[in-house]
Structures are given as structure tokens and as C-alpha cells.
Amino acid sequence: MSWRSLLLILRNARLKGADLYRACLIGAKLNRADLRGAYLERADLSWATLENADLNGAYLRGARLKDADLTGADLDDADMFEADTTDAEWGKGGG
């Protein structure tokens, strides 16, 4: 089985303050996940679903969020310097 065929499902996960530096989270399901203050520098969250996730204060510098679904996500105080949000879905009033 290829790693590409794996689907990471972390709905409602408690990852507050987690060190996910350069993590490969492509296509991960992170709906309603608690990622407050998580360290996601250069993490790849392309095509990830982060609906209603709490990313308050998360460190997302250089992260890839290409085509990610950020509908309802809390990004207050998140550091997104040089994050790639190409074609990301922001939902109502986002982006």
C-alpha cells in the first residue's frame, strides 16, 4: 500500500501546542481539531479539511494550505507569513 492511499482522520483531535514541523498532512481531515498554538511551520496541509478547526495562535509560516478547506476555522493570531493558501476555501467572509 502506498502512503498516498492513506487518509489521516483527526476530527476533534486535541493537538494544542503540538510540534508538527514539516508534517505531511495532505488531505487530512482535521474538522473541529484543537490546533491552538500548534507549530506547523512548513507543514503540508494541501487539500486538508480544517472546517471549524481552532488554529488560534498557530505558527503556520511557510505552510502549504493549497486547496485546503478553512471554512469556519479560527485563525486569530495565527502566523501565516509566506503560507501558500492558493485556492483555499475560506467560506463566508473568509479569504
**All domains in the chain, ordered by first residue:** 1-85 (2.160.20.80)
Burial string for 56-75 (b: 16+ CB within 10 Å, else e) reads bbbbbbebbbbbbbbbebbb
pTM of the prediction? 0.88
Could you read off the pLDDT of 9-51 as tens digits, one per residue?
888 999 999 999 999 999 999 999 999 999 999 999 999 999 9
**pLDDT score, position 6:** 56
Could you read off the pLDDT of 68-88 as tens digits, one per residue?
999 999 999 999 999 999 999
Q: Are 59 and 35 in contact (CB under 8 A)?
A: no
